A = this chain, B = another copy of it.
Amino acid sequence: MANNFKEASVDEITQVMQQAQTAFEAYQQTSIEQKSVFLEAIAAEIEALGDGLLQKASEETNLPIPRLTGERARTTGQLRMFATMLREGSWVEASIDTANPDRAPLPKPDVRKMLTPLGPVVVFGASNFPFAYSTAGGDTASALAAGCPVVVKAHPAHAETSEMVYSAIKKAIVSSNMPGHIFQHVHGTSFESGKALVQADETAAVGFTGSTVGGLALLQYSSQRKKPIPVFSEMGSINPVVFLPDTLNKNAADLAAQYAGSITLGMGQFCTNPGLMLAIEGDGLYSFLDSLGKGIEAIKPAKMLHAGIHTAYQKKSHEALAQDGVKVIQKSAVEAQDIEALPTVALVSGKTFLANPLLHEEVFGPYSLMVNCKDEQELLKVLKSVSGQLTTTVMGTDEDFAAHKALLQLLPSIAGRVLFNGVPTGVEVCHSMVHGGPFPATTDSRFTAVGTNAVKRWVRPVCYQNCPDGLLPLALQNANPLGIWRLVDNEWKK
């Protein structure tokens, strides 16, 4: 994927990472308030770029302006959310165990713990979110909030948009009086530049959003390092949705309308796209498929993000549809032109799905496969056969839930987020969100890429033993000068 920017050389990357390390030391001397103001300034400078930013992003990604307007709001909202989190302060997980000098046989020391930043974080943004998962997206915002310098490799598919966002961050660095290299931006279209970024001595952690191939390559580069570092790759998912019998019988048309929309939202270019549906054979299912087909037929093709993604969609969807036993339910009634994607839903039996691993693979685009299971046992088997997922969803009535206990127990074991009677597309940015999940959804299921807890990827705990009060970080001092929630001798206190 070529663009007009010069590829960073390995030497340049070495220098960038050394500068990041120097900035790390300076950044640790800035106050919580200064960091918060900095994050807010980035948000304001992005807004100040105005419609020009939206137009550039739309040109580069083919995403419509209203969608990009919403994504920009999410991006600036995330930056401000992390500023609020910093000021609120309890994210550092301060905990205090006070001393007991009289304990026998040994006195109990005073031990206090909090989270501290890891160091320079390298971020590889996503093609499908030019704002929210890119240059100033969730990885960058959470790492800067954590106290880590950030180096972003611009996504080649929207490198000019990335440059514009970078210009906004540079202005914020100046106006907030931050270390000049607290955020740096490099271009690269090759795996070599990614390798150099991951393998630099100073790199302390990596955040990636994108394809399985890309995410695993970074993990592989990292495993060749002398000093291991955490790599958080978020690599997508087929997001299984189970439709239970009673709701299919009662609500087939409504469910179909909801899912025709979710499958084709943003031309299916979401990692939470419902690429797999499961149901038990019956009239409810056929009625649902009939309505779903009509819904899909009515949805017009639209341009995908770039030619590479379109080619992959063509290849993967044709491959899936060519498998024995796979039947097209419906495609869009309008022919796809150029790099447009053709919305498509297909049907396969549980038995065939279980026997053919190719059908388990993600088809990134407006595509979903319904697995027609002969009974609940087969449905559970199908669900167990798919790998780790970002989300899994169950659609059902109270009667359904009462009748399918084993299914409900299984769901949390395969995904980071379990939804009830909704669609997986759309990820709420909040404390409790888990946008992560067992491999291959991510490389480390213990963390989330969305929500305030995304900051936890870039920090480690440090404890202080018998430290004089005045020398402790503010978060751990007796008087609680930051006024934050802390676990003090096993009680949460403020």
Contacts and interface: CB of A to CB of B under 8 A. Distances in A.
Given A459-B446, A467-B418, A97 B431 contact: yes
Given A97-B430, A431-B97, A431-B490, A412 B462 contact: yes
Contacts of A426: 106
Contact-residue size bin, chain A (C-beta under 8 Å from the other chain): 35 or more
A113 B420 contact: no
A6 interface: no
Given A116-B412, A471-B408, A463 B434 contact: yes
Contacts of A401: 468, 471
Nearest to A220: B223
Given A422-B465, A439-B227, A95 B417 contact: no
A48 interface: no
A133 interface: no
10 closest cross-chain pairs (CB), A and B: A223-B223, A113-B432, A434-B463, A445-B460, A111-B432, A492-B492, A419-B465, A97-B430, A95-B432, A97-B432
A485 B464 CA distance: 25
Most central of A409, A432, A438, A456 by chain B CB within 10 Å: A432
Nearest to A448: B461
B462 A420 contact: no
Contacts of A97: 428, 430-433
Contacts of A12: none
Contacts of A417: 462-465
Contacts of A443: 228
A335 to B, nearest CB: 32
Contacts of A408: 471
A377 interface: no
Contacts of A490: 88, 431
A453 B461 contact: yes
Interface string A393-431: 000001001000000110011011111111000101011
Contact of A428 (B111, B420, B434, B471): B111
Contacts of A459: 446
Interface in A434-458: 434, 436, 438-440, 443-448, 453, 456
Contacts of A381: none
B416 A463 contact: yes
Given A431-B97, A439-B228, A398 B463 contact: no
Contacts of A228: 219, 439, 443-444
A315 interface: no
A373 interface: no
A230 B445 CA distance: 9
A257 interface: no
A88 B465 CA distance: 25
A462 B401 CA distance: 19
A390 to B, nearest CB: 11
B446 A462 contact: no
A467 B432 CA distance: 13
Interface in A205-261: 219-220, 223, 227-228, 230
Given A219-B228, A459-B446, A431 B487 contact: yes
Contact of A230 (B95, B418, B446, B453): B446
Interface string A465-494: 111100100000000000001010010101
A432 B112 contact: yes
A374 interface: no
Contacts of A318: none
Most central of A106, A223, A443, A445 by chain B CB within 10 Å: A445
A282 interface: no
Contacts of A487: 431
23 contacts: A28-B409, A95-B432, A97-B428, A97-B431, A111-B428, A111-B433, A116-B413, A219-B228, A220-B223, A227-B439, A228-B444, A412-B462, A416-B461, A417-B464, A418-B465, A420-B468, A422-B465, A428-B465, A433-B463, A436-B460, A438-B460, A446-B459, A447-B461
Contacts of A116: 412-413
